[in-house]
Chain A
Amino acid sequence: MVKSISTAKRVRTPASELFWRWCFITLLLCTCVVVLVPLLNVLALSLSDPARVSEVRGLTVFPKGFSLVNYRVLLANPLFMRSILNSVFITVVGTSLNLLVTSMAAFALTRPKLPFKRFFMILTSWS
């Protein structure tokens, strides 16, 4: 008897609350659709068979036919490979240097023994 009351209490959610919850879920899923459709459209364009690419309209999310020829051309382009390498280089070297410099500075800035601490704190946060 006692057990059934406690489970009933746990499960019960007011009908109005459930209604609103479903409204919210619907709205949020609509947001997801708005975010995804343009992205999937671009993906569909890039994967479509070049002969059928004119069939891909603005709201198409699945490729028409399937072909990787665009990617093959892109990867064969030396300029593209160069720019990819540049991006990777900048990201890897930049991030490691950044981490090194900022962590060293952060360590120093948190020590109370640092000379002119207040001055440096203001300087670094006024970037």
Chain B
Amino acid sequence: MPALSRRRDWTLLILLAPALAYFLVYHLIPIGGMVMAFQDYRIIGKSPFVGLKHFKMLFASPAFMQVLVNTLIISFMKIVLFFPLPIVFALMLNEVRTSFLRKFIQSTTYLPHFLSWVVIAGIWIAFLSPSSGGANQLRGLFGLPPRDYMTDKSAIRWVLFASETWRSLGWDSIIYLAALTSISPSLYESADLDGAGALQKMRFITLPELLPTMVTVFILNMGFFLNAGFDQVFNMMNDSVISVVDILDTYVYRIGLLNMQYSFSTAASLFKGAIGLVLILAAHQGSRKITGKGLW
């Protein structure tokens, strides 16, 4: 490459400056706040340095362990159990040839994605209400006694899973539909000539062609394993089920902002951040190995 084109163009930095200012103010400076986790933070006066005291308290606390277990279980349901559903949905939708039906199904199932969790939680709490909700009206049709799903510890995690599915099933299938339409029709034509049945075409053409997309989506989601969805859990939880749905984010919010134990909640948050960083790095490496492309 000629030396001229390699020359640095400092005016480009002006274009980048607003974005850099944003990163500085909202991402880099707040990192300094992490020091709170190693102090007994006081709003007024000097905060004494206490080392790992809050981390020791964190790991000795049974509440935190329960929160960690909840986060892992809920994330497992929403990432691993949910994972095949949009794929199956896209495969089924791909078989629908009637353009009108296809568009109707797509628009309908994309709809809930555009509602915020506050609204969805309102709709679901009304729908699952034991006195007037649609779910219990359905149970009544089968002669079953009404059940209050929202306050039932054994049901609430499935409510989270179901509402996540209700919201994201259609939307998450878009990427698979796009991958399906990019499969070359000549593969299916030659399979037809070889006398392959529908199942064989699925096994030897569709699934292998979809594999890179599936791997990428799965790995990307794994990076957010400890998130488990603050908005959803926060809006759907109530005091009778808090012990089984309280996740790291809601716990940090409650302890830190409501109970004002700033240092303790910063320690919890820092712990989550550290694990999250490891997961993201692992996702990056995994993605680079399998698809040849990293996350950045």
Contacts and interface: CB of A to CB of B under 8 A. Distances in A.
Contacts of A108: 12-13, 15-16
Looking at B10, B134, B198, which has the most chain A CB atoms within 10 Å of its CB? B134
Contact of A115 (B13, B15, B95, B122): B13
Majority secondary structure, B binding face: helix
A16 B109 CA distance: 27
A105 to B, nearest CB: 4
- Chain A interface SS verdict (over half): helix
B191 to A, nearest CB: 14
Contacts of B229: none
Contacts of B235: none
A100 to B, nearest CB: 8
B273 to A, nearest CB: 12
A16 B182 CA distance: 25
Interface in B148-202: 166, 169-170, 198
Given A38-B123, A58-B134, A32 B104 contact: yes
B16 A38 contact: no
A78 interface: no
A16 B122 CA distance: 43
A32 B9 CA distance: 54
A121 interface: yes
B250 interface: no
B134 A41 contact: yes
Contacts of A115: 8-10, 12-13
A111 interface: yes
B111 A39 contact: yes
A24 to B, nearest CB: 4
A25 to B, nearest CB: 6
A20 B16 contact: no
Interface in A96-122: 100-102, 104-105, 107-109, 111-115, 120-122
A20 B92 CA distance: 9
Given A42-B126, A59-B134, A125-B295, A36 B108 contact: yes
Contacts of A111: 9, 12
A28 B93 CA distance: 7
A93 to B, nearest CB: 14
A84 to B, nearest CB: 14
Given A39-B111, A42-B123, A101 B12 contact: no
A58 B132 contact: yes
Given A101-B19, A102-B19, A113-B9, A28 B166 contact: no
A11 B248 CA distance: 57
A83 to B, nearest CB: 12
A52 B9 CA distance: 71
Closest A-B pairs by Cβ, 7 of them: A58-B134, A125-B296, A105-B19, A113-B9, A24-B92, A108-B15, A115-B8
Interface of A: 16-17, 20-21, 24-25, 27-29, 31-32, 34-39, 41-42, 57-59, 100-102, 104-105, 107-109, 111-115, 120-127
